[in-house]
Amino acid sequence: MTFPFDPRPGTLVLPQPYILFVGDTREAGYAKTAFGLRDWAGDKCVGECASDEAAVTTGLPRMSPAEGAALGARSLIVAVANSGGYIPQSWIATLIEALEAGLDIVAGMHSRLSEIDELADAARRLGRRLIDVRTPPPGLTVATGAKRSGKRLLTVGTDCALGKKYTALALTEGFVARGIDADFRATGQTGIMIAGEGIPMDAVIADFEAGAAERLSPDAAPDHWDVIEGQGSLMHPAYSGVSLGLLHGSQPDVFVLCHEPGRTGLLGLSSFELPLVEDMIALTITLGRRTNQAIRCGGLSFNTSAFSQEEAERLMAAESDRLSLPVADSMRRGAAFDRLIDNCLREA
């Protein structure tokens, strides 16, 4: 497998624009990547393509790979999963059609594209790339701890899968809407597809974890903000190392703590209680100060999808009073989200 040309070694850069492949998936739950790309990178998607007419739709125009290529697409993204996390035989014909239309293929499934002989052969024959966003490119190094110019925000969490990527994307959008020069920095598969570049932080060699984070948000203009997608949790028994390497290498000026009220145990490890938000804030400051003395909590981002609007507002207001910090749901937005942005951007 080869990687796209990369002016910053260690960072994946994907060929854009995309055509989104939804396969023959009929369950919306398996198409979260496709919907995320439509919502957050719609301007980089020329359309969608399927291997079965009855597949789920993103609402983008449906087209063949060749039609997508004619509209300027440079890669086809496998934007759905099946229940096994592998590429089923029924998708192969369309994927080869894409290679023949001059598109690269991008995926981040459990089974690798290059391990499927038919795809590997076709890619070789046609001079196309099979890009796996779960594989960090070579060229990563150990962190230096050296201070970088520009401003950085990192989303952190009390657990996995509660809105760290979504919050970072919403904050980036909010910053840009205020005329601020900001970039979303992707650290996971879907985030990398949305941003078109990034580093899959959980797949990096442990020794290079903080070094990869340093590379992900390089020196920038003094008033530029990198908004970095967090991973895992400092208090997660399996992923804490990824989270701490990302924290130390990111050197954030501001962090936003993501949390799902009502979730009592860690996802998939329910015997572990969720840590308290106030403990997570204190711990993130204690550890984060090591590479940025000025680190502070900008506020909290709650995933309140299990609550009514009214319940959610009451709960967030109470927590905001208790912690003296803005608390908002980045999916509900509104005035609370504006206050969160205000507090992230205020002079420290």
Residues within the interface to a second copy (CB under 8 A):
142-145, 201-207, 209-211, 234-235, 237-246, 248-249, 269, 271-272, 283, 286-287, 290-291
Residue 215 CB, shortest distance to a second copy, in Å, is 13
Tell me the residue type at 297: C
Of the candidates 50, 102, 41, which has an alpha carbon nearest to the alpha carbon of residue 71?
A: 102
Sole residue written with tokens 């900001």? 182
Element (H, E) at 285: helix 277-288
Q: For residues 78 and 65, what is the distance between their CA atoms, to the nearest angstrom?
A: 12
Residue 200 CB, shortest distance to a second copy, in Å, is 9
Nearer to a second copy, 128 or 185 (CB): 185
Residue 211 CB, shortest distance to a second copy, in Å, is 7
Output the six-digit token pair for 26.
Answer: 């009929």
Residue 145 CB, shortest distance to a second copy, in Å, is 3
Q: For residues 240 and 154, what is the distance between their CA atoms, to the nearest angstrom?
A: 15
22, 34 in Cβ contact below 8 A?
A: yes
Q: For residues 40 and 216, what is the distance between their CA atoms, to the nearest angstrom?
A: 20
Residue 204 CB, shortest distance to a second copy, in Å, is 5
Element (H, E) at 314: helix 309-323
Nearer to a second copy, 293 or 324 (CB): 293
Q: For residues 60 and 95, what is the distance between their CA atoms, to the nearest angstrom?
A: 19
Residue 147 CB, shortest distance to a second copy, in Å, is 9
Nearer to a second copy, 239 or 302 (CB): 239
Nearer to a second copy, 14 or 246 (CB): 246
Nearer to a second copy, 106 or 242 (CB): 242
Residue 220 CB, shortest distance to a second copy, in Å, is 19
Residue 59 CB, shortest distance to a second copy, in Å, is 34
Nearer to a second copy, 248 or 296 (CB): 248
In the 8-state DSSP scheme, what is residue 203? Answer: G
Q: For residues 209 and 327, what is the distance between their CA atoms, to the nearest angstrom?
A: 30
Q: For residues 156 and 257, what is the distance between their CA atoms, to the nearest angstrom?
A: 5
Nearer to a second copy, 126 or 287 (CB): 287
Q: Could you write out the DSSP letters of every residue in 112-145?
A: -GGGSHHHHHHHHHHT--EEETTSPPS-------
Nearer to a second copy, 45 or 204 (CB): 204
In the 8-state DSSP scheme, what is residue 62? Answer: B
